[in-house]
Amino acid sequence: MEFTREWAEKRDAEDQLSGFREEFALPAGVIQLNGNSLGPLPRAVPGALDQVVRREWGEHLIRGWFEDGWWDAPERVGDRVGRLVGAAPGQTVVGESTSVQLFNALTAAARLRPERTVLVSDAGNFPTDRYLAVSVARMLGLRLVQTPVAALPKVLERHRGEVGAVLAGAVDFRTGELWDVAALTARVRDAGAVTVWDLSHAAGAVPLHLDEAGVDLAVGCGYKYLCGGPGAPAFLYAAARHHEALDLPVTGWHGHARPFEMADTFVPAPGIARARTGTPHLLSLLALEAALTPLEAAGVAAVREKSLRLGDYLMSLVDGAGTTTRTRERTGAWPEVVTPRAPARRGNQVTLRHPRAPRLSAELMARGVVTDARPPDLIRLCLNGLYVSYTDVFDAVTHLREVTR
Ligand SMILES: *Cc1c(COP(=O)(O)O)cnc(C)c1O
C-alpha cells in the first residue's frame, strides 16, 4: 500500500500543511530535498525586496534608517528568529555570516570563564566550527579538546574544573543525528562551563527551547531552514543573564551604548544590542525577515511533525526497496540509512550511504531531484515538511532506484 504513488497522493490530500508549498517559488518538476543547504525562495521575498530597494533605498535614501525601521532590523528580526528557537525577546540579533557569529559567540563564551583553560569542540561539527575553535583556542591561549558529542559527558569529567566553553552542533550536518540540547546543556552547566550551540541544522527544523534549557549562547544560519536566501545573515542568541558580562570581540559602532556620539572608546550597549556589529547587510536581512512568514504561520512543531513522518516514509521506502535479494542483485548496491531512526535522535534530514554517493547525487540532480553528497559516501535528503510532499518522497526514491541500477 505504502509502496504505491496513490498512497502518497492520498497523504498529500489529507495533509494540513500541503498549502504552504504554494508559498514557495519552487520550479515545476523540481523536488527540493536540499533545504538544509539552501532553503527555497519564499514567494513573499521578491516583492518585499523590491519595496526595500526601490522605495526605501531609492526614494527615502538615508531616512530609511529610521523611517523604514532599518536601524532596528537586527534586533527586530532577531526577536522573530528567537521565537522560533524558544527565546524570549531581547536575546537574539541577526547579522553577519555564521562564521563571524561563531567567532563572536565562542570568544565571548570563553571570556565568561577566564580562569578555565580548556575549550571543547565537537569533532563531528561543520568544518568552519572546527577551524574557528582551533583559531579561538590559539588566540586565547586555551587547550583545545575535540570530541564526538556522544563522549562530551566523559570529556567534562576528565577535565573537571578546566573546561570553560563547549561548542557543539545540535544536529550533525552529515548524519542528521540530533543531540539532546537540554540534557547536554545541563551537563555543561554542572561542569561550570558555558555552551555555544550551533543551530544551523536545527533552527526552524526542530522545536528548540533555548531559554527553558538554560542555553548560554547559540548561533545559526539564516539560509537553511529559515529560507533567507544565499548569504542570508546568521543569528546570535545570548541568554539575558550573560548580557552584562558579555565581552564580544567584534566591537562595531552599532553595538555601542551611544552609537551616534562617535566616542573614542567602545562602551557596549545594554542588552543584546551589544552583539550588533557594524552596518548590517540590510538587503539580505530584510529578505530573511520576509522569508520567515510561512514558517511562523505553519509553526515549527507542525513542520517538525510532518518532517518526521516524511522521514519515516523515506526510510520505509528505502528499506522496502532494498530488502529483497532480487532487488539487490539487480541494483548492485542499494543505499543504507545512516541517520538514527528514533524521532528524538534525528533532525529533518535523512542521510544515506552508498559507495557512489557523489555520482548518484549528480544523476538525481539531472532528474530534478535536488540533494547533495558529503564525502566520501553520503547523500543527504532534507525533508522539510513546509514544502516537501509525500509524492516528492515517493518520486525521489523511484529516481534513486533507477539511478542505482
Ligand atoms: C552551514 C553551516 C555553517 C556555514 O557557515 P557560513 O559562514 O554561513 O558559511 C557553519 N556551521 C554549521 C554547523 C553549518 O551547518
pLDDT band at 326 (very low <50, low <70, confident <90, very high): low
What secondary structure letter does DSSP report for 272? Answer: G
Distances in Å between the Cα of 82 and the Cα atoms of 86, 96, 225, 244 are: 6, 16, 14, 19
pTM summary value: 0.97
Query: pLDDT of 341-369, one tens digit each?
Result: 999 999 999 999 999 999 999 999 999 99
**Residue 291 grid coordinates:** 522569508
Q: Is 145 in contact with 121 (CB distance < 8 Å)?
A: yes
Neighbours of 385 (CB within 10 A): 26
* Whether CATH 3.40.50.10490 fits 46-296: no
Q: Is the pLDDT of residue 327 over 60?
A: no
Mean pLDDT of 161-174: 98
Q: Is 307 in contact with 392 (CB distance < 8 Å)?
A: no
Ligand 1 atom 11 nearest Cα:
126
pLDDT band at 336 (very low <50, low <70, confident <90, very high): very high
Give the N- to C-terminal CA distance of the chain in Å, as an integer: 23
- Does any ligand 1 atom lie closer than 6 A to the CB of residue 129? yes
pLDDT band at 2 (very low <50, low <70, confident <90, very high): confident
Mean pLDDT of 395-399: 96
- Does any ligand 1 atom lie closer than 6 A to the CB of residue 172? no
Mean pLDDT (the chain, rounded): 96
Q: Where are the beta strands (DSSP E) in 263-348?
A: 336-337
Q: What is the pLDDT of residue 140?
A: 98
How far is 232 from 238, CA to CA, in rounded Å? Answer: 20
CATH of 5-32+299-403 given 3.40.1110.10, 3.30.230.10, 3.90.1150.10, 3.40.50.150: 3.90.1150.10
Q: Is 254 in contact with 74 (CB distance < 8 Å)?
A: yes
Calculate how far, in angstroms, residue 29's C-alpha sits from the geometric centre of ligand 1: 29
Q: Is the pLDDT of residue 36 over 60?
A: yes
Q: Where are the beta strands (DSSP E) in 87-243?
A: 92-94, 118-122, 143-147, 163-169, 194-198, 217-220, 235-238
Mean pLDDT of 215-232: 98
Mean pLDDT of 93-98: 98
Ligand 1 atom 14 nearest Cα:
200
Q: What is the pLDDT of residue 320?
A: 83
Q: What is the pLDDT of residue 3?
A: 84
How far is 92 from 236, CA to CA, in rounded Å? Answer: 6
Cα 176 to chain center, whole Å?
11
Q: Is the pLDDT of residue 301 over 80?
A: yes
Q: Which of 38, 126, 171 to mutate to test the pocket of ligand 1 (most atoms within 8 A of CB)?
A: 126
How far is 302 from 283, CA to CA, in rounded Å? Answer: 29
79, 274, 380, 387: which one is catalytic?
A: 380
How far is 167 from 133, CA to CA, in rounded Å? Answer: 8
> Taking the domains of the chain in order of start, what are their residue ranges?
5-32+299-403, 46-296
Q: What is the pLDDT of residue 405?
A: 86
20, 24, 103, 126: which one is catalytic?
A: 126
- Does any ligand 1 atom lie closer than 6 A to the CB of residue 251? no
Mean pLDDT of 139-165: 98
Q: Is 308 in contact with 343 (CB distance < 8 Å)?
A: yes
Q: Is the pLDDT of residue 324 over 70?
A: no
Q: Is the pLDDT of residue 333 over 90?
A: no
- Give the percent of the chain with pLDDT over 70: 97
Q: What is the pLDDT of residue 330?
A: 57
What secondary structure letter does DSSP report for 68? Answer: S
Q: What is the pLDDT of residue 145?
A: 98
